[in-house]
Structure 1
Amino acid sequence: MAEPGALSEIDAGPAGLAVRLRGVTKVYDNGVAALGPLDLDVRKGEFISLLGPSGCGKSTALRLIAGLNAPSSGEVGVAHRSREAQAAHSIGFVFQEPTLMPWTSVRENVRLPLRIAHASPAEADARVAEALAQVGLADFADAYPRELSGGMKMRASLARALVTDPDILLMDEPFAALDEITRFRLNNDLLALWRNLRKTVIFVTHSVFESVYLSQRIVVMTARPGRIAAEIRIDAPEPRTEDFRTSPAYAGYCREVSNALAPSYAGQAVS
């Protein structure tokens, strides 16, 4: 077992895993047992959602995978293309809030990870332009965050996560605060990006409907301390369109996921 808090490398071959959690737990200093024990495998290029009640450890799991926190016990394994990639931001993180710097432009917000990585100006310019184009913000590179809508701010946050060309994209309820129409549009755009780039995506959400629409697999978690209650594969044709949202198959999957989730909310107020 790796030393707690250290990310170990796992097989990054063509059929390998992107993430592997084994016996992972997290107990905070105040004694709250937030997570685990948790065992989870995520394949390269897979899109999965973590779904569960508030406080069940979904965000904690993302932070452990990203190396932002250390597990109390167990092993977190992450695959990388190379040791150089491991050192150069091979994980992108999109938080629930865009966390953009208000005093500078969209372009400079997206450039920040490359500044930290000491990328050359020419390389940074090219990568920033590509990331902004990928999320549909090429025409807003010189805008300031205060000039953007909520959806556009989240696109800028996504571009910032993509600018280092990460292997793994971790997304912590990124669309939760958006109106329904904007959320649907960003769901569609995120799926299009995933199909084009084939990143491994681990997506945290409270929404059954969003998880079914986006995911290849949904990991339903129990109430705190979070463990896996069920894993449900969504075998829907690709590409997914608005027709899928109104199909009997979609309704059936939503019903199945809701039923699997219900015990996790027993005795709780639904948030």
Structure 2
Amino acid sequence: MVESTVPEADASSSAVRLRGVTKTYDSGVMALGPLDLDVKRGEFVSLLGPSGCGKSTALRIIAGLAAPSIGTVELAHHDTERRGSHRIGFVFQEPTLMPWATVRDNVRLPLKLARAPVADAEMRIGAALDQVGLAEFARAYPRELSGGMKMRVSLARALVTDPDILLMDEPFAALDEITRFRLNNDLLSLWRDLHKTVIFVTHSVFESVYLSERVIVMTARPGRIGAEFRITSTEPRGEEFRTSAEYAAFCREVSRALAPSYAGQAGA
């Protein structure tokens, strides 16, 4: 069933905690907040809402790529004994690959910046490419890859540092439907295997419901939490869930909650 209210998480179980977070730009435009958000360790959460509602801004604030105007951001401490580990991995809307570098060297970049030992870096790169199904394309260049494969490289680059939290900003939005479905399935498999905390930004009701344990529906700007839904299903999810009456019911409920966010928007 769909639960429209979700109890506040215990601080000890939280990977991410936002309290009273707002973002106001120099122009005076308030893009976000106030936003209170808890994401539990190992949870898969989607932020769903219209363009300009602050979803990507929230993700960038969590990543430390932007500072909140007001409010606090708390991240769970990672294991400091894990050499070269990073707290956060980020997958952007575009793969942003270096065209002159091979797949292997693109994945190597964050380890190179961190000055990871060569032997450790090689092991991590091989493991990350295996995880995304690109081991045989390690020597290929971006121009030789499909859109879906480029996004797999971007995902491998985010995973290679073994992050605790994986932030994903509409990574599959530009892909065709078949490729997007395949990558959704592969992402769920990785999440189950690696036990990462995932915060996923999307415009798609269908994608958010398929992927997530919890869908957070954001209001139009300034973005706040308009509704939350717990998505329960028999695991692991696959095509049987995607074509089920249960999935369709979830999508209807989330769509109803999302509708007011689009009301009155030009071109919506």
Superposed pair shares fold, TM > 0.5: yes
Moved over 4 A (4+): 83-88
Does 2:53 correspond to 1:56?
yes
Does the aligned pair in 1 maintain the 2:85–2:162 contact within 8 Å? no
Q: Which residue number corresponds to residue 202 of structure 1?
A: 199
**Distance in 2 between the 1:182 and 1:114 partners?**
28
5 Å-filtered alignment, 1:214-253, equals 214-253=211-250
Aligned residues between the structures: 259
Aligned pairs (5 A) from 1:74-85: 74-83=71-80
Q: Give the alignment partner of residue 99 of structure 1, picking from 85, 96, 99.
A: 96
Aligned pairs for 1:87-236 (under 5 A) are: 88-236=85-233
Q: Quick one: higher RCO (CA 8 Å, sep 6+), 1 or 2? A: 2
Could you tell me which runs of 5 or more consecutive residues in structure 1 were left unpaired when the two chains were aligned: 1-9
Taking structure 1 as reference, are residues 82 and 61 closer, same or farther at Cα in structure 2, changes over 3 Å only? same
> Offset of 1:86 from its aligned partner?
11
Taking structure 2 as the reference length, the TM-score comes to: 0.94
Report the Cα distance in structure 1 between the residues aligned to 2:35 and 2:78, rounded to whole angstroms.
25
Counterpart Cα distance in 2 of 1:165 and 1:120: 15
Cα deviation code 1:90-140 (max 9, x no counterpart): 100000000000011000000000011110110000000000000000000
C-alpha contact (below 8 Å) 1:80/1:86 kept by paired residues: no
5+ long unaligned stretches in structure 2: 1-9
- Measure how far apart 1:269 and its partner are: 4.2
Map of 2:29 onto structure 1 = 32
Whole-angstrom CA distance in 1 between matches of 2:266 and 2:179: 27
d(CA) in 1 for partners of 2:147 and 2:25?
32
Look up the SS of the partner of 2:126 in the other structure.
helix
SS in structure 1 opposite 2:166?
strand
Percentage of pairs with the same residue: 76
Instruction: Give me the whole-angstrom Cα distance separating, in 2, the residues matched to 1:82 and 1:139.
Output: 32
Tell me what 2:7 maps to.
none
Task: Name the aligned partner's letter for residue 187 of structure 2.
Answer: L
Cα deviation, residue 82, structure 1: 3.5
The 3-state SS of whatever aligns with 2:200 is: strand
Which whole-Å CA distance do the structure 1 matches of 2:99 and 2:33 have between them?
37
Once residues 82 and 31 of structure 1 are traced to their aligned partners in structure 2, the CA distance between those partners, rounded to angstroms, is: 40
Q: TM-score, normalised by structure 1?
A: 0.93
